[in-house]
Amino acid sequence: MGVMSWLSENALVGRINDLVSWGRKYSLWPSPFATACCGIEYMSTMASRYDLARFGSERQAFSPRQADMLIVIGTICLKTKPIVLKVWEQMPNPKWCISMGACASSGGMFDVYSVVQGVDDFIPVDVFVPGCPPRPEMLLHALVMLQERVQGKESIGHESRAFIRREVQAEVNRQWRDHRLAELSRLESETQS
Amino acid sequence: MSAVTGNSIPERELREPTDWEERTIAAVAELLGDDLHEVLAGPDMITLVIAAGRILDTSEALSAIDDETGFPLLLDTTAVDYLNWPEPHPARFTVVWHFLDRLRGRRIRVRAWINEEDEVPSLTPRHNSANWAEREVFDMMGIRFAGHPNLKRILMPDDYDGHPQRKDFPIEGPERARARKGELQGNKRMTSWKELHDL
């Protein structure tokens, strides 16, 4: 029996990244930032009837320094914004964010001067949960979506809309510049000839 | 007492003042003279319209008139913006103070008409309950209280632009209002995607 055949029967070959993100996927520690009525649905989600712990999200970290996943739950006012940002910046990388409910995602019905119109103004959000408030199943679905995201991406994710927007904008700028340069050189060659 | 000024209580709801109200009005009128502009006896309580500069005197008089009519407790300080008010009114804002006689359950309201540039004497040296209320009025209406120990915003962030409860304040806030009028690319989430699609 050769070494290779022994290996093929007894060893699994894979990338270390897959293993790491598989581990991360089933141990997302949530840090809830609850300010409004969505917090009640979140409590229900954590409690025994719906039980977010079934998905590996076992331990609620009320200290952001021991958390992987910030769940912004409820209306964020202008005066709360720096506090949410502080909580987010205290969390160690890699970290993810779920924006739960209409208020956190878009300001909801509070289309007024004092309310932040969606936390993705200042935090990269991975999953938005619509609803006013969302049912616990929707938060479970969001967690599963986030897990797929954690598993699927090799570099661990800050692909928020803001991030994508910056990238797309940079790409567009690059293409536009190239186009203008090509145009200029064509004009130059035309005038020379 | 001088002419009627911007009365917001309907005529049919006015009534005659009761005995203790008459006594209070007489005491305040004696102290203030011409600075007591108007007395309105509304359905809930009487309203004394005074010159804004005399509020400290008035509160002192109200709390120390005598045992019968003393109002020692300041319940509330607030303000009303009368911009676009259809009927004629002497100034833009009124500042409103409510006083309570807690032994007999009697209440009295004091109002003063002021404009944007005017300052009102702070009641905080006399009544601690005026402290946060005056900060709120300053924050929401932009009315400055002279002599307040710590007159800064209480509800909005310290660096906020504008005073939200004024009638000419846009409900969505100054930045987004400017964006709506096209003066500023404010709500970048929306506009930049549009720009991208146009490109």
Domains of chain B: 11-150 (3.30.460.80)
Are B160 and A78 inside 8 Å of each other by CB?
yes
In B, which residues are within 8 Å of A168 by CB distance? 196
Residue type at position A71 = I
pLDDT at B197: 46
Residue A3: strand, helix, or coil: helix
Q: What is the DSSP string of A38-62?
A: HHHHHHHHHSTTT-GGGGT-----S
Q: ipTM for the complex?
A: 0.71
Is the separation of the CB atoms in A149 and A25 below 8 Å? no
Residue A185, pLDDT above cutoff 90: no
Q: What is the pLDDT of residues A65-97, one digit of tens each?
A: 999 899 999 999 999 999 998 999 899 888 899
**pLDDT, greater one: B135 or A124:** B135
Minimal-distance CA residue of chain A relative to B176: A113
Residue B105, pLDDT above cutoff 70: yes
In A, which residues are within 8 Å of B189 by CB distance? 118, 120-121, 161
Q: What is the pLDDT of residues B135-188, one digit of tens each?
A: 999 999 999 999 999 999 999 998 888 899 999 898 888 877 777 776 655 444
pLDDT at A153: 56
Q: What is the pLDDT of residues B74-89, one digit of tens each?
A: 999 999 998 888 878 8
Q: What percent of chain B has pLDDT over 70?
A: 84
Q: What gap in Å lies between CA B77 and CA B134, rounded to an integer?
A: 6
Closest to B196 (Cβ–Cβ): which among A112, A114, A172?
Answer: A172
Q: Which two tokens stand for residue B127?
A: 């009544």
User: Phi, psi (5° rounding) for residue A98?
Assistant: -110, 130
Q: What gap in Å lies between CA B8 and CA A113, rounded to an integer?
A: 29
Going by the DSSP 8-state scheme, the letter that residue A16 receives in this structure is H
Residue for token pair 């906020």: B160
Residues with Cβ < 8 Å from B37, sequence gap 6 or more?
Answer: B1, B2, B5, B49, B50, B51
The overall pTM is greater than 0.90 = no
A152-156: list long-range contacts, CB under 8 Å, 24+ apart: A153/A21, A154/A17, A154/A21, A156/A21, A156/A24, A156/A93, A156/A94
Q: What is the pLDDT of residues B17-64, one digit of tens each?
A: 888 888 888 888 888 888 888 888 888 889 999 999 989 988 888 887
Architecture of domain A15-157: 3-Layer(aba) Sandwich (3.40)
Residue B97, pLDDT above cutoff 90: yes
Closest to A168 (Cβ–Cβ): which among B174, B176, B196?
Answer: B196
Q: What percent of chain A has pLDDT over 70?
A: 92
Closest to B172 (Cβ–Cβ): which among A112, A121, A168?
Answer: A112
pLDDT at B5: 55
Number of Cβ pairs < 8 A linking chain A and chain B: 38
Half-sphere exposure of B182 (CA within 13 A, CB side): 0
Q: Which H or E element spans position B125?
A: none
Q: Which H or E element spans position B114?
A: strand B106-114
| B192 pLDDT tier (thresholds 50, 70, 90) | very low
pLDDT at B120: 93
- Asked if residue A124 has a cis previous peptide bond (ω within 30° of 0), the answer is no
Distance from CA of A111 to the nearest CA of B (A): 6
Residue B112, pLDDT above cutoff 70: yes
Residue A123, pLDDT above cutoff 60: yes
Residues with Cβ < 8 Å from B8, sequence gap 6 or more?
Answer: B87
- To test the contact with chain B by mutation, choose from A110, A113, A168 the residue with the greatest count of B C-beta atoms within 10 A, namely A113
Could you state, in order of their start, the residue ranges of all structural domains in chain A?
15-157, 160-193
Question: Ranked by mean pLDDT, which of A115-129, A153-167, B8-22 comes out on top?
Answer: A115-129
Q: What is the mean pLDDT of chain A?
A: 84
Distance from CA of B176 to the nearest CA of A (A): 9
pLDDT at A163: 65
The helix/strand count (H/E) of chain A reads as: 7, 4
Longest dimension (CA), chain B: 78
Interface of B with A in 142-181 (CB under 8 A): 155-157, 160, 162, 164, 169-174, 176
Is the separation of the CB atoms in B74 and B55 below 8 Å? no
| A7 pLDDT tier (thresholds 50, 70, 90) | confident
| A154 pLDDT tier (thresholds 50, 70, 90) | very low
